[in-house]
Structure formats: C-alpha cells, structure tokens
Structure 1
Amino acid sequence: MTQVYLIRHGETEWNVARRIQGQTDSKLTSLGELQARQAGKRLKNMGITHIIASDLGRTRQTAQLLAEYCHIEPTFDSRLRELNMGILEQRRVDSLTPEEEQQRMLILDGTPNGRIPQGESLTELSTRMRAALEDCKKLPEGSRPVLVSHGIALGSLLGNVLGLPPYAERRLRLRNCSLSLVESQNSPWLAPGWIVEFAGDTQHLTAEALDEIQR
C-alpha cells in the first residue's frame, strides 16, 4: 500500500484580493504562513518521508514551512503547478466582463475540454497531476510523501482518482492548507488502485487560522 498526502498551499495575497492566480506567483499572507505551520505540526509525527511541491512561489513557501517540522528538504515538480488560466491570470474576479466570466466558467461547469483562451485544458491538468501521483510508487518502499499543490490541481487529481472526467463540475472544496489522503491498495471491498481516504480536512487549523467562511 502506498499512502500519499496532499496539501494545498497557504492563503496568498491574491486569494484575499480575489485575483486569478493560475501559474502567476503571489506571496503567502501572514495567515497563510500560520496555516502552513499548523499543517506542519500535524505532519510532524506522521512519518512523512518526502515533501514534493509545485515549483510556483506560493507552494515553495508552504513546502519550506512544512519542512521546518518534518525535517525534510523539499523537492519541486512542475507537474504539480496550478492550472494555467491563460488570459485571465492576474485579473480580479469581480472585474471580469460577462464574456470573460463565461470563459472562467469553462473550467468549473462541466464543459468538455474546458479551457480559458491561451490557457491549459482540464484534461492536460489531470494528466500531469496523475503522472506525478503515479511516480510516488517509484519511491523507496515504506515512503510516505506529501504533495504540495493548488486548489484546482488537487481537485482535478482527486476527481481523477474517483473516476470522474477531467471536466467534471467542481464540487470538492479544498481550503488553504487543507489535507487529503489517497492510497494505492487492493481491498476486497474497494476498486483496486488509488482510493480517496479523506479530502479537504482542516482539523489542524485553529480558529485564528480559519477564514470567516470556515469559522
């Protein structure tokens, strides 16, 4: 059995400003740093052997904070990057024109092969995220890695494990620094291969590290 933990990065300045990030960098807020430290405290005694993160700035920051508690040097994998959101990156969500809002919805509403102009398709995202997960099986026996990635990217991966098409409507809420777990196993009562043990867990985040919606 292979266990792989999944963590979304901490809150960023653009999360607060409601800017579309995609593959553009935005620094963690002080709250985001606190979230990452609290996630690190949870992981500290869970036998984590590898921290593998997206190479974007916000995931690098999160991984480095997790590393302080797990005492593991992070490595970085560009396959774990967020969806490339093309022409809408850096835009505030409330500033989009009706046409641009329709383009944004192509990655949310179940449109087959949804893609923002000049961006990446959900199929491309799902394919690279699944490849990164499969490579965890190549780690030494007994490894327990954590993948540090992004909201849409991790939602796509979890949907893939559940057998959903890449363009399925988004119905998983993965808050900043939420924790998920997938396992590769062979159970007599579950489909063989990867299964979702839990998703979007925030029990390690105290009240001071939760946004207003979470409280």
Structure 2
Amino acid sequence: MTIVYLVRHGETQWNAQKRIQGQADSPLTEEGRIQAKQVAMRVKNLGITHLISSDLGRAVETAEILAQVLMLPVQTDKRLRELDMGILEGKCVSELTPEEDMIRRSPLSGTPDARIPNGESMQELANRLHDAIDDLRMLPDGSVPLLVCHGLALGCLIGTVMGLPAHAPRRIRLRNCSLSRIDYQAGEWLAEGWIVETAGDISHLESHSADEL
C-alpha cells in the first residue's frame, strides 16, 4: 500500500480578497504562514519521506515552512498546479460581470469539457494530477510522500479517486492547510487503485493558537 498525504497551501492575500488565483499567484498572509506551521506540526510524526509541491509560489512558500519541521528538501512538480482559470485570473469574484461569473462556474457545475477562455478543463486538470500521483508508486518501498497543492486541484483529485467524473459538480470543501490522505490499495478487500482515507481534516487548525507556535 502506498500512502500519500495532501495539503492545500496556506491562506494567500488573494484568498483573503476573494480574488481568483488559478495559476497566477499571491504570497501567503500572516494567517497563511501560521496555518502552514500548524499543519507542519500535525504531520511531523507521520514518517513523511518526500515533500513535493506545486511550483506556484503560494504552494512553495507553504512547503518551505513544512520543510523546516520535516527536515526535508522541497521538490516541485508543475503537474500539481491549480486549474488554469484563463482570462479570469486576478479578478475579484464580487466584481465579475454576470457573464464572467457564469464562465467561472461552468467548469465546476458538471458541464463536460467546460473551460474558462485561455484556461483548461477539469478533465485536463485530472489527467495531469493522476499522472503525478501515479509516478509516486515508483518511489522506494516505505516512502510516504506529502504533496502541497491547491483547492480546486485537490478537490478534483479526491473526487476522481472516489469514482466521480472530473467535471462532476464540486462537493468537497478543502480549506487552506487542510490535510487529506489517499492510499494505493492492492489488497484483497478492495479493488486495486487509489482510495480516499481522509479528506479536508482541519482539526490541527482548530486546536492551536498562534501563541503556541
């Protein structure tokens, strides 16, 4: 069995402003850095052997905070990037026109092959994410990788692992620095393949204050 932990990056300035990020970027807020420290303390005793991040700045910044606790180098993989939101990147949700808001919702509403202009479809997102996690099975026996990724990307990954189509309406909320886990199971009780063990755990964010870090 292969165990893979999944962490969404910490809160960013654009998250706080409700601005669409996609593959554009903004730095972590102070709250985002605290969240990263909290999840680092949560995972420090889980035997993590590899720390792999999306190459977008907000994910790398989160991973570097984790790296200080885990004492591991940060590897990057551009396949872990967020959904490309095309022409909407950088715009505040509250300032979208009705047409732009309809375009924003289309990839998340169950419309097959929907894409924001100059962006990508959820199926394209799912394909590259599954390529990335399938490569993890080539790591040495006993490896326990942790991936630092993004909200829509992780929601898509977890949904497809559960057997949903990539374009299925979004039903999974993954907050900043939430912790999820997927396993590759080859045992006799379940069909071979990836399964979801945990999705969106934020207990570590609720049980610590900034003064404890």
The CA deviation at 1:43 is 1.0
Indicate whether 1:104 and 2:100 are aligned: no
Partners of 2:38 and 2:208 within 8 A in 1: no
Equivalent residues of 1:52, 1:75 under 8 A apart: yes
Distance 1:102 1:182, change over 3 A: same
1:124 aligns with 2:124: yes
Are 1:50 and 1:144, in contact at CA under 8 Å, matched by a contact in 2?
yes
190-199 or 1-10, which deviates more: 190-199
CA distance in 2 between counterparts of 1:25 and 1:88 reads 13
**Segment of structure 1 superposing worse, 158-167 or 180-189:** 180-189
Deviations 1:157-183 (A, max 9, x none): 111111111100000010000000000
Partner residue in 2 for 1:187: 187
Quick one: which amino acid aligns to residue 19 of structure 1?
A: R
Name the SS for the 2:114 alignment partner. coil
- 1:1-215 paired onto structure 2 within 5 Å: 1-206=1-206
C-alpha distance after superposition, 1:106-130 (max 9, x if no partner)? 1211011120011011111000000
Q: Distance in 2 between matches of 1:209 and 1:155?
A: 27
Kindly tell me the number of residue pairs found equivalent between the two proteins.
210
Equivalent pair of 1:80/1:128 in contact (CA under 8 Å): yes
Cα offset for 1:25?
1.0
Name stretches of at least 5 consecutive residues in structure 2 with no aligned partner: none
Query: Do 1:80 and 1:153's aligned partners in 2 also have CA atoms closer than 8 Å?
Result: yes
Q: Deviations over 1:27-85 (max 9, x none)?
A: 00000000000110111111000000000000000000000110001100000000000
Is contact 2:182–2:197 with CA below 8 Å preserved after alignment? yes
Structure 2 residue matching 1:106: 3-state secondary structure: helix
The range that moved more, 8-17 or 183-192, is 183-192
Provide the TM-score with structure 1 as the length reference: 0.95
The 8 Å contact of residues 35 and 209 in structure 1, kept in 2 or not, is answered as: no
Structure 1 unaligned blocks of 5 or more: 211-215
Match of 1:213 in 2: none
Q: 1:104 to 1:157 in 2, by over 3 A?
A: same
Query: Deviation of residue 13 (structure 1)?
Result: 0.4
Distance 2:7 2:113 in 1: 26
Q: 1:208 Cα deviation (Å)?
A: 6.6
Partners of 2:209 and 2:24 lie apart in 1 by: 24
- Measured in 2, the distance between the counterparts of 1:205 and 1:191 equals 34
Query: What SS does structure 1 have at the residue aligned with 2:120?
Result: coil
Coordinate RMSD, CA, aligned: 1.3
| Alpha-carbon separation, structure 1, partners of 2:194 and 2:209 | 31
Q: Which runs of 4+ in 1 moved over 6 A?
A: none
Paired letter, 1:142: G
* Mapped contact 1:130–1:160 kept (Cα < 8 A): no
One-letter amino acid of the counterpart of residue 202, structure 1: I
